[in-house]
Amino acid sequence: AGGKQDMGSDSLSHSHPGPHERAHSRTVMLGRRRRKDWSCSLIVASLVGAFGSSFLYGYNLSVVNAPTPYIKAFYNESWERRHGHPVDSDTLTLLWSVTVSIFAIGGLVGTFLVKVIGKFLGRRNTLLVNNGFGISAALLMACSLPAGALEMLIVGRFIMGVDGGIALSALPMYVSEISPKEMRGALGQVTAIFICGGVFAGQLLGLPELLGKESTWPYLFAVIVIPALVQLVSLPFLPKSPRYLLFEKHDQEGAEKAFQTFLGKEDVSCEVEEVLAESRVQRNIRLVSVLELLRSPFVRWQLITVVISMACYQLCGLNIWFYTNSIFGKAGIAPEKIPYITLSTGGIETLAAIVSGLVIERVGRRPLLIGGFGLMALFFGILTITLTLQDHAPWIPYLSIVCILAIIAAFCSGPGGIPFILTSEFFQQAQRPAAFTVVGTVNWLCNFAVGLLFPFIQKSLDTYCFLVFAAICFAGALYLHFVLPETKNRTHAEISQAFANRNKAYPPEGKTDSAVTDDKTNIRPE
């Protein structure tokens, strides 16, 4: 029997068609199934999951910007009430830095908790339990001002980071595992869309006319309760991940019912067969540890690729938010109007993410990701020139604004969401939690490093600091151009095969003791 024949739903004949014939037959089959192999339950699960998870992550990235002076005043009042004198400037700066950066520390802790919680509860129930972190964090931060306790705000930010760390790992896994492969990318981009929507909502609610006032800033944090409650009351009515039920709970009947709910049809035998083909020879699957994943030669380049993609995701220079107010001011925009102009950046961000979600299954992951990083490198270079020559002509500041909007749009068109999709697609069921632990660790460590080091880079290089980001974006695009295969509409076995030559390691047949050594590319047809 052929050692590397795909046993997915597209390989039903006894012959061994070539890759072009398989691709053509798959395209025809997908064309027939594309319109009917999903249901409202699938869309609701994606939207509700993202609203209570990635939306909150994006919201907490931007929500602290508007009330910054009021929070610092609150810190000063609390300090003076306890110690009898105002807080010195260095201590106040330290307290504020801790308030902002502790969100990333909490995210790192949440990333490590995902595998432990997910092993016992599954993807859906992990998201449900995670709402407890979100609600408790919201109550702590909202009550900090009435209680006069600055520690409540700092601890609340940490707990909110734990919520974000769990959400950004559990949500992509859940959405990927409930989606048919022809919709996997589009639904995966829902994560990025809701992150951008959360950033925009934080900017909008932070306006002085809404909640961005001295008397109402605690309500900015109380708003967090709403998405968490929506997810908490909605997700229990939706099935668990069918892959989780099949592989980790050995519940084939439950998996079939879940597929029927999400795909909106009775006959799900092809989908079940495709999932079983990933682990035909295994009977007692066990989750792979992080150390086992790092040592496995069969996924070495997959792991390197998602780590580099996620590192570039955080290090590519989205700290440009710190420059928007000064750039808008130099362009001649009145200071009182700058917060409203800043909303345009959030709007562009959300619009670009939506467009990316609509075209990703047609264009593919590879062009959007490489093109996004490439365009960011180009516009960062132009932005460096315009900022350096800012005072030489009255129209140059407006060109800087265009560059900022273009950078944001390029980021959200691909790099803003696709690294999470690739992590779901590159790794099989038993490897996925460990892979998200590794990638999540890289994500939050880079987030923390940028928040810690960016002020020093900015102070040393001034406007030339954007050349550092341009170099990172260019290097990321170059690496992905040579290494990243296209993954749209491809099974895990086909994606593994695309990396096999580079890994110089083919998974051996017949090994049932370790999920690391069974990459599902050597499955014998029955």
Select the more confidently predicted residue: 367 or 268: 367
Q: How confident is the model at residue 183 (pLDDT cuts 50, 70, 90)?
A: confident
pLDDT at 520 over 50: no
User: How big is the CA angle at 449 (ends 75 and 461), to the nearest 5 degrees?
Assistant: 95
- How many angstroms separate the CA atoms of 353 and 351, rounded? 5
Closest CA to 520 of 500, 503, 504: 500
Q: What confidence tier does 231 reach under pLDDT thresholds 50, 70, 90?
A: very high
Structure tokens at 271: 């989908």
- Residue for token digits 């290090």? 315
Question: For residue range 343-359, what is the model confidence (pLDDT) as tens digits?
Answer: 777 788 888 888 888 88
Compute CA distances 254 → 174, 245, 257, 380, 454, whole Å: 16, 6, 5, 50, 49
> Which pLDDT value is given to residue 523?
37
The model's confidence at residue 512, banded by pLDDT at 50, 70 and 90, is very low
Instruction: Please say if the pLDDT value at position 200 is more than 90.
Output: no
Across 241-248, average pLDDT: 80
Least confident of 1-10, 36-45, 149-158, 493-502: 1-10
DSSP 238: S
How confident is the model over 124-144, as pLDDT tens digits? 899 999 999 999 999 999 998
Question: Looking at per-residue confidence, does 436 or 268 come out higher?
Answer: 436
Which range of 280-284, 293-297, 314-318 scores highest in mean pLDDT? It is 293-297
DSSP state of 506: -
Distance CA 477, CA 375 (A): 9
> How far are the Cα atoms of 6, 38, 245, 285, 489 from residue 513, in angstroms, in the given order?
22, 35, 20, 8, 29
* Full-model pTM: 0.76
Return the higher-pLDDT residue of 471 and 523: 471
Between CA 224 and CA 300 the distance in angstroms is 39
Tell me, what's the pLDDT at 475? Answer: 95
Residue position matching structure tokens 């390989």: 11
CB neighbours of 433 closer than 8 A, spacing ≥ 6? 114, 115, 118, 119, 169, 173, 287, 288
